[in-house]
Amino acid sequence: MNIVLSHTSGEPFYLQIVEQLRRQILTGVLLPGAGLPSIRQLAKDLQISVITTKRAYEELEKEGFIDSKVGRGSFVAGVSAEALREERVKRLEQDLLQLVEEARAIRISYPELRDMLRLYYEEDES
């Protein structure tokens, strides 16, 4: 497990932790049942506030990515394959939305965008 924080991006630390852990869980780098460092250990390792790491874990717990048990620490939750896919599709939709907005902003028409997309999709396939 790796967490690398940017001190200059302006994005709150707790969000950076949430996003990086979420990504590592979704991509299978962290497997269900894997133990996570305690909030105090993580705060020490990253040299940040305990409140920040606590907030990040609480957020991940709310989203169902991790389980925390008193006295036993935090673990990656058993995320089902279906839930994983659903979450990834949701993310893909968000990325697509961004893509469309950017295309509109620089006046790329839908057929042009579609052709570009096809080019990349098929290139990757082969």
Partner 1 sequence: MTAIDIQDLTKRYDRFTLHPVSFTVPKGYITGLIGPNGAGKSTIIKAMLGLVRPDSGQIRFDGRSFPQEERAIKEQIGFVSDENHFYEQLTVAELKRNFAPFYPEWSDADFARYANLFELDLKKRIKDLSKGTRMKVSLALALSHNARLLIMDEPTGGLDPVFRRELLDLLSDFIQDGERSVLFSTHITTDLDRVADYIICMNRGRLVFSESKESILERYVLVRGSNELLDRDVRQEFIGLRETEVGFEALHADRRRATELFRNAAILENPTLEDILYYTAKGEVLLG
Q: Across the strands, what pairs with 75? A: 35, 67
How far is residue 118's CA from residue 8's CA, in Å, rounded to a whole number? 36
Q: Tell the smallest beta-carbon distance from residue 44 to partner 1 (Å).
A: 4
Nearest to 32 by CA among 62, 65, 73: 65
Nearer to partner 1, 71 or 111 (CB): 71
Of the candidate residues 2, 10, 121, 124, the single one contacting partner 1 (CB under 8 A)? 10
- Could you identify the residue written with the tokens 């839930």? 83
Give the per-residue contact string, 43-62, with partner 1 (x = CB under 8 A; - = no). Answer: xx--xxxxxx--x-------
H helices of 32-80, where? 39-46, 50-62
Of the candidate residues 23, 40, 62, 90, the single one contacting partner 1 (CB under 8 A)? 40
Residues near partner 1 (CB under 8 A) are: 10, 12, 14, 40-41, 43-44, 47-52, 55
